[in-house]
Amino acid sequence: MTLDTIAPAFVDMAHSIVWASAATVDANCRPRSRVLHPIWEWDGTDLFGWIATVPSPVKRAHLSAHPEMSLNYWAPSQDTCSADCLVEWYTDDDTRVTVWEKFANGPAPVGYDPYVIPQWSDGPTSDQFAALRLTPYRLRVMPASVMTQGVGEVLTWQGRLP
C-alpha cells in the first residue's frame, strides 16, 4: 500500500483517538512506554508528527541511544492504528513556538491549550518545553470493523527502514 493511500486514514484515526501509547528503548535495549499526544500533518506527499513534551532525562537518554519511537492508538470501539517513527528533538525557539501554536490552534479533539500543563506556564520557550518531530517508516490502520465484523481491511505501509 502507498503512503498517499494510508496517511489520510491514519491521521483521521489518530486524531480521533488523540492519545497514543509511545515506547522508546534505552541504551541497554530496555523498553519504556508512556502516553503522549501527537499531532500529525499530511501534505499529500509527506507525513510527519509533532509531540509537545517535557524534555525529561529519561526521554533524552532513550532517544539519544535509539532515535526511534513506536506509537499505538487504541479506542474503546477497537479502532487501532500505529506508527513506527524516527524521532528528532527540537529545542530552538522558532520550532518550539511553531509547535506550540500547532497544538494551541489545532482542530478538536487533538488541539489544546498548552498552558494547561503546569511545567509550561512560562510558554513555548521554557526549558521545560521541547518538540519531537516524528517521521514514520511504518504505519498500520485497523478499523474496528475488521476485527469485530470481518469487514474492511487492515491498511499497512512500510517506507525506508532506518
Q: What is the pLDDT of residue 149?
A: 77
pLDDT in tens, 110-130: 999 999 999 999 999 999 999
Q: What is the pLDDT of residue 152?
A: 81
Q: What is the pLDDT of residue 160?
A: 83
Q: What is the pLDDT of residue 100?
A: 98
Burial classification of residue 70, based on how many CB atoms lie within 10 Å of its CB (0-12 exposed, 13-18 middle, 19 or more buried): middle
Going along the chain from its start, the domains and CATH numbers come out as 3-158 (2.30.110.10)
Place of cell 506550540: 100
> CA-CA distances (angstroms) from residue 17 to 20, 32, 44, 62, 90?
8, 21, 22, 25, 25
Q: What is the pLDDT of residue 162?
A: 67
pLDDT in tens, 74-108: 999 999 999 999 999 999 999 999 999 999 999 99
- pLDDT-derived band of residue 140, with 50, 70 and 90 as boundaries? very high
pLDDT in tens, 3-47: 999 999 999 999 999 999 999 999 999 999 999 999 999 999 999
pLDDT in tens, 43-68: 999 999 999 999 999 999 999 999 99
Residue 55 and residue 130 in contact, taking contact as beta carbons nearer than 8 Å: yes
